[in-house]
Structure 1
């Protein structure tokens, strides 16, 4: 991928198909925000965490209990690849690129066409931080910004 800086954008995913590959802790962390955005989520994974199984049981997501297969990304607007299978992750990236679908790779940010920022929200203000592909630094900066917004809110009250 390019060394150019990423372009930050607020995606409108309400009613749009989002495919999540993998059912572990990364997917579990990302699903709540995707659901809040109103995404139509299709999750592909042979196994999932109990929390993800509950989302499928309550029909908040559609869970396909199998490994990724070519064609799973059809009609997707956005893809989150979060499996521990490098071959599947690479194949999904290739499919997403061919479909012109933005793809986040939890395992290889350098091979992704999108990154998930560390996010926070205070009084309807959303903060998203990308720190050059360093998720730990992104979280630290996000936490500082959210803390500052909370302090400003208290001062204004």
Structure 2
């Protein structure tokens, strides 16, 4: 189950960037736009659900507890205090997106998995250098990552 938080702004529904994954089937890209109010942010379907029909995604719920830091307040704090966020957004993500689109287009699981894991790891580093630090993963999460890497 995926829980999404939406906020109502004037005549538009607006959610977090990750909410775009729920607007279409298959693989979806978030085009964040340039407007400060997010009005030009949009979801674009890269490929439909039949493109990579033998790919199976598993979601492991490792805790039923509510997160200590909500995504909304965590992102606000990260934008305000993380010295790595701008570097990630401006330097790393644009190239990674192009590589990810290529991996998806070619159904290249090895590249897809490597890029996904690297992006997740980097996201959590950005969270760790936020003030105060944000810890979204727990010991179980770390053990699962260790098993996947092995």
- TM normalised by structure 2 equals 0.24
- TM normalised by structure 1 equals 0.23
Structure whose residues are more often helix by fraction: 2
Structure whose residues are more often strand by fraction: 1
